[in-house]
Amino acid sequence: MSEDSIQQRIETLRHQIEQHNHQYYVLDAPKIPDAEYDRLMRELTKLESEHPELVTAESPTQRVGGAVEERFDSVRHELPMLSLGNVFSEQELRDFDRRVRERLDVDTIVYSCEPKLDGVALSLLYEGGRLVRAATRGDGQTGEDVTHTARVIPAVPLRLMDGAPQGRLEVRGEVYMPKAGFAAYNKRAEAAGEKTFVNPRNAAAGTLRQLDPQLAAKRPLAFFAYSVGVVDGDWLPSGHVATLELLAEAGLPVCPHNQRVDGVEGCLAFYAEMTDKRDTLPYEIDGIVYKVDDYEQQRELGFVSKAPRWATAHKFPAQEELTTVADIDVQVGRTGAITPVARLNPVFVGGVTVTNVTLHNEDEMRRKDVRIGDTVIVRRAGDVIPEIVAVVPDRRPIDARLFTMPSQCPVCQSPVERVEGEAVARCTGGLICAAQRKEAIRHFASRKALDIEGLGDKLIDQLVEAETLNNVADVFRLDVPTLAALDRMAEKSAGNLVAAIETAKSTTLQRLLYGIGIREVGESTAANLARWFGRLEAIVEADQDALEAVPDVGPIVASHIRAFFDNEDNLAVIASLRELGVHWPQKKPQRTQTGPLTGQTIVLTGTLTSIKRSEAKIALEALGAKVSGSVSKATSLVIAGEKAGSKLTKATELGVEVGGEEKLAELLSLGKT
Q: Could you give the residue numbers annotated as active site?
A: 116
For residue 208, which of 72, 306, 384, 334 has the smallest C-alpha distance? 72
Residue 486 DSSP label: S
**54: Cα within 13 Å, side-chain hemisphere:** 19
Query: Which helix (H) or strand (E) segment is 303 a member of?
Result: strand 303-304
Beta-carbon contacts of 358 under 8 Å, excluding residues fewer than 6 positions away, are 339, 340, 341, 342, 387
For residue 323, which of 263, 231, 389 has the smallest C-alpha distance? 389
What's the one-letter identity of residue 197? Answer: F
CA distance 620 to 132: 45
Report residue 215 CA to chain centroid gap: 31
CA distance 341 to 67: 45
Beta-carbon contacts of 149 under 8 Å, excluding residues fewer than 6 positions away, are 134, 207, 208, 209, 210, 213, 216
Q: Which residues pair with 349 in a beta bridge?
A: 352
Burial of 70 (0-12, 13-18, 19+ CB in 10 A): exposed
User: Measured on CA atoms in the order 240, 241, 243, 244, is the torsion positive or negative?
Assistant: positive
The CA dihedral of 604, 610, 615, 619, to the nearest 10 degrees, is -80
**502: Cα within 13 Å, side-chain hemisphere:** 8
Q: What is the DSSP string of 254-268?
A: B-S--EEEEHHHHHH
For residue 664, which of 592, 584, 606 has the smallest C-alpha distance? 606
CA distance 200 to 284: 8
Under a CB-based contact definition with an 8 Å cutoff, are residues 343 and 326 in contact?
yes
The CA dihedral of 247, 248, 253, 254, to the nearest 10 degrees, is 80
The pairing of strands 601-605 and 637-640 is parallel
CA distance 315 to 384: 12
Q: Which residues pair with 621 in a beta bridge?
A: none
Residue 411 DSSP label: T
CA distance 224 to 117: 9
Under a CB-based contact definition with an 8 Å cutoff, are residues 149 and 98 in contact?
no
A 10 A CB-CB count for 195 gives 9
Buried-state track 243-259, b at ≥16 Cβ within 10 A, e below 16:
bbebbbebbbbbbebbb
For residue 312, which of 102, 92, 101, 91 has the smallest C-alpha distance? 92
Under a CB-based contact definition with an 8 Å cutoff, are residues 388 and 378 in contact?
yes
What's the one-letter identity of residue 620? Answer: L
CA distance 103 to 606: 10
